[in-house]
Amino acid sequence: MHSGQRVAVLGIVVSAALAITKIIVGMAGHSTAVVADGCESAGDCFSSGLVLFGLTLAAKPADKEHPYGHGRIETLTGLLIGLALTAAGVLISAASFMHLGQPRAPIETFVIAPLLVSAAAKAGLAAYKFHSGRKLRSSALIADAWHDTTDIVSGLVALAAVGLALSDPVRFADADRYGGILVGIIVVFAGVQVVRETAMQLIDTMPGPERMDEIRAAAATVEGVRGIEKCFARKTGLRYHVDLHLEVDPDMTVRRSHDIAHQVQLRVKERLEWVADVLVHVEPGA
């Protein structure tokens, strides 16, 4: 099991424990916001399961039908997490809205405890996932980290709503339910952001100019390279595939130009560990 999978397993265990605790305590303490936050944590558990599934399949080596590997499965997993987040947010808000104005039992003060524990646990888990996701360049792990971040925000919203309801049960009778609605809206916004980011990768959006400059700079260090006419890159899972149009001496032999192209391929992959492969096109330079 590699590091990304271990992070996903940790996320499943922590989120499952928090979800069960918050849902049980929220129901016992008559808090819609805490139950809604527990449902959001259950969604975290589901998304971490998707991440584990996606990372496992993405690690499969390239084959005849998938010469670029299976990395896009990991990106697709991130997209599914975003869609699941959006759907969960809508359901949470709708359920809370439907209970507005209805009679209810008074909220118990003990519902605050799981919200505080959840905020602390999720803060640590989100930081760990962001660090691991950026290190591994995993869209799914980063999407899952954003999911945990929304859980922190939603937990704080639920905490504020519960606090208002406890401070003045008559005046703020529906504060807890409005908190549930806000929790759902926060989750929806996070889901839309994750969908947008992963969709950009699925349509082969280029990396930032800094990374493109790194590719050009690495290629230019090979002796015999006169220039780089074009440079494209697309992400396939955790790493990028690069297309490079290389300019060399127009009077050079085919064998020599091929050797230079091969050296460029090796140099870029050697210096930039986030590059999976480089396809070099040799063209006559000025």
The rounded distance, in Å, linking the Cα atoms of 79 and 56 is 16
- Please indicate, yes or no, whether residues 127 and 267 belong to a single structural domain of this protein: no
Q: pLDDT of 105-131, one tens digit each?
A: 777 888 888 888 888 888 888 888 888
Q: Which of 216, 215, 223, 212 is nearest to 263 (CA)?
A: 223
Which CATH number covers residue 278?
3.30.70.1350
d(CA 173, CA 86): 28
Query: For residue 196, is pLDDT > 80?
Result: yes
Do 183 and 71 share a domain, yes or no?
yes
Q: Are 188 and 245 within one domain? A: no
Q: How many residues does the chain have?
A: 286
Task: Give yes or no: residues 181 and 221 share one domain.
Answer: no
In SS3 terms, 83-132 reads as HHHHHHHHHHHHHHHHCCCCCCCCCCHHHHHHHHHHHHHHHHHHHHHHHH
Strand partners, 232: 243
pLDDT, the chain, mean: 81
Q: In terms of domains, do 249 and 133 share one? A: no
What does the alpha-carbon distance between residue 205 and residue 199 come to, in Å, rounded to a whole number?
9
At which of 180, 202, 224 does a domain end? 202
- Residues in contact with 88: Cβ distance below 8 Å, sequence separation at least 6, in sequence order: 39, 40, 43, 184, 187, 191
- Tell whether 157 and 97 lie within a shared domain: yes
Same-domain check for residues 242 and 180: no
pLDDT tens digits along 128-184: 888 888 777 776 677 778 777 877 877 787 788 888 888 877 777 777 778 778 878
Q: Is the pLDDT of residue 104 over 70?
A: no
CA distances from 130 to 54, 125, 148, 211 (A): 17, 9, 10, 20
- DSSP three-state, residue 32: helix
Query: For residue 40, how far is the Cα from the chain centroid?
Result: 16
Note the pTM of the prediction, 2 decimals: 0.61
Give the CATH number for residue 97. Answer: 1.20.1510.10
Same domain, 120 and 98: yes
Q: Are residues 213 and 91 in the same domain?
A: no
Quickly state the pLDDT bin for 263 (edges 50, 70, 90).
very high
Question: Residue 251: which pLDDT band, with cuts at 50, 70 and 90?
Answer: confident
1 pLDDT above the threshold of 60: no
Among candidates 159, 171, 173, which has minimal Cα distance to 113? Answer: 159
For residues 25 and 150, state if they share a domain. Answer: yes
Q: How many Å apart are CA 83 and CA 195, to the nearest integer?
A: 6
User: Which of the four pLDDT bands, split at 50, 70 and 90, describes residue 199?
Assistant: confident
* Final residue before a domain boundary, out of 202, 230, 265: 202
User: Do residues 28 and 117 both lie within one domain?
Assistant: yes
Task: Choose the final residue of a domain: 134, 167, 202.
Answer: 202
238 has a pLDDT exceeding 80: no
CA gap 139, 109 in Å, rounded? 39
Domain holding 179, by residue range, is: 3-202
Whether residue 178 is found in the same domain as residue 222: no
| Count of structural domains within the chain | 2
